[in-house]
């Protein structure tokens, strides 16, 4: 029994080392939501001479829009090590994880319900990683991408590995027009005869447009949340409602 216990204790560090070479465990991004934790709790480096430079590209210049997907690339330079790995997440001002990640190649993998992204075994020899980040479905204000990079010497142990955490801002596009969830806006009657009524106590729209199935556009006006459709031929139509910040798209039938 003792022999098996000793064997387990001996094999566990090897198992962890092999596991982490194919991706970091979640919760080690260096973010405030992760309590600033990185993999330096296991990996250690006591020397000097590392001064890596990090760069993140793909963040939209005008800021993110809710629900949109962006392809980001994290690069590390000014360092020459045998292996490298990383973990990243996005948090809001309350340090809650925001959005989801997905891979574009075999060098990265999303973990923990896609709220983190990390390297794979084929990605631990790279100096840059490209992946997709999909913004949260609703506005969350300005966000931050947090990441920690492990620059490993490849000696088969956790010693001599240098880890550094950093972050970049992902501002919100405050000029973006956000689409409202389908169940938040209702129109009636549907099918309609002479008019359509917009049922909402939250949003006030000042622009409206109707299109038929072949793309012909019918400009219309909204008066007291009511739109005249008596002039339309019978058929199926798409109604687009919009103001400066929000939009809604609904389908209706004209009798």
What is d(CA 30, CA 8) in angstroms, rounded to the nearest whole number? Answer: 30
Using an 8 Å Cβ cutoff, are 66 and 181 in contact? no
Q: Cis link prior to 189 (omega < 30° from 0)?
A: yes
List of residues 6+ apart from 86 with CB closer than 8 A: 24, 74, 76, 118, 119, 129, 147, 148, 149, 150
Q: Which of 199, 198, 197, 192 is nearest to 231 (CA)?
A: 192
| Average pLDDT in the chain | 85
* 210-220 burial: b if 16+ Cβ within 10 Å, else e: beeeeeeeeeb
Average pLDDT over residues 89-99: 97
CATH number of 2-170: 2.60.40.4060
The model's confidence at residue 158, banded by pLDDT at 50, 70 and 90, is low
Q: What is the pLDDT at residue 200?
A: 82
Q: Cis link prior to 191 (omega < 30° from 0)?
A: yes
Average pLDDT over residues 16-22: 52
Average pLDDT over residues 57-66: 92
What is d(CA 55, CA 76) in angstroms, rounded to the nearest whole number? Answer: 7
Q: Which pair of tokens denotes residue 209? A: 């447009």
Judged against a pLDDT cut of 70, whether residue 241 lies above it is answered with: yes
Same-fold call for 2-170 versus 178-254: yes
| Alpha-carbon distance values, 139 to 97, 200, 243 (Å) | 13, 20, 16
Give the Cα-Cα-Cα angle 232, 235, 238 (nearest 5 degrees). 80
Kindly state the DSSP code that residue 126 receives in the 8-state scheme. Answer: -
Say if residue 171 is exposed, middle or buried (CB neighbours under 10 Å; 0-12, 13-18, 19+). Answer: middle
Q: Domain residue spans in the chain?
A: 2-170, 178-254
Judged against a pLDDT cut of 50, whether residue 195 lies above it is answered with: yes
The model's confidence at residue 15, banded by pLDDT at 50, 70 and 90, is very low
Most confidently modeled range among 58-72, 80-94, 100-114: 100-114
Helix (H, G, I), strand (E, B) or coil at 201: coil
Average pLDDT over residues 247-255: 93
Judged against a pLDDT cut of 70, whether residue 55 lies above it is answered with: yes
Q: Which of 167, 118, 153, 121 is nearest to 47 (CA)?
A: 153
Judged against a pLDDT cut of 50, whether residue 129 lies above it is answered with: yes
Q: What is the pLDDT at residue 42?
A: 63
What is d(CA 135, CA 67) in angstroms, rounded to the nearest whole number? Answer: 5
Judged against a pLDDT cut of 50, whether residue 6 lies above it is answered with: no
Q: Which of 183, 144, 147, 180 is nearest to 164 (CA)?
A: 147
| Alpha-carbon distance values, 91 to 109, 139, 254 (Å) | 18, 13, 46
Which has the higher per-residue pLDDT, 3 or 137? 137
The domain made up of 178-254 is a member of CATH 1.10.1740.10: no
pLDDT in tens, 62-76: 899 888 999 999 999
Q: What is the pLDDT at residue 179?
A: 78
Percentage, residues of the chain above pLDDT 90: 58
């Amino acid at each position: 029994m003792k022999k098996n216990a000793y064997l387990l204790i001996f094999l566990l560090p090897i198992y962890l080392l092999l596991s982490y070479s194919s991706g970091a465990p979640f919760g080690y991004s260096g973010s405030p939501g992760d309590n600033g934790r990185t993999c330096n709790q296991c990996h250690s480096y006591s020397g000097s001479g590392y001064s890596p430079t990090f760069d993140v590209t793909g963040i939209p210049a005008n800021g993110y829009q809710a629900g949109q997907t962006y392809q980001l690339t994290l690069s590390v330079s000014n360092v020459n090590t045998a292996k490298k790995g990383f973990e990243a997440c996005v948090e809001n001002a309350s340090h809650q994880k925001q959005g989801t990640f997905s891979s574009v190649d075999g060098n990265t993998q999303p973990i923990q319900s896609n709220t983190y992204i990390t390297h794979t075994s084929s990605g631990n020899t790279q100096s840059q990683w490209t992946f997709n980040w999909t913004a949260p479905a609703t506005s969350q204000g300005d966000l931050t991408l947090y990441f920690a990079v492990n620059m490993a010497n490849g000696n088969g142990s956790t010693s001599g590995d240098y880890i550094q955490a950093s972050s970049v801002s992902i501002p919100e596009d405050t000029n973006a027009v956000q689409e409202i969830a389908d169940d938040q806006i209702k129109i009636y009657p549907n099918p309609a005869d002479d008019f359509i009524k917009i049922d909402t106590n939250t949003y006030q729209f000042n622009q409206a447009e109707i299109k038929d199935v072949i793309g012909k556009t019918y400009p219309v006006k909204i008066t007291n949340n009511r739109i005249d459709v008596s002039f339309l031929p019978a058929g199926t139509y798409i109604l687009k409602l919009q103001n400066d910040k929000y939009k809604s798209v609904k389908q209706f039938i004209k009798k």
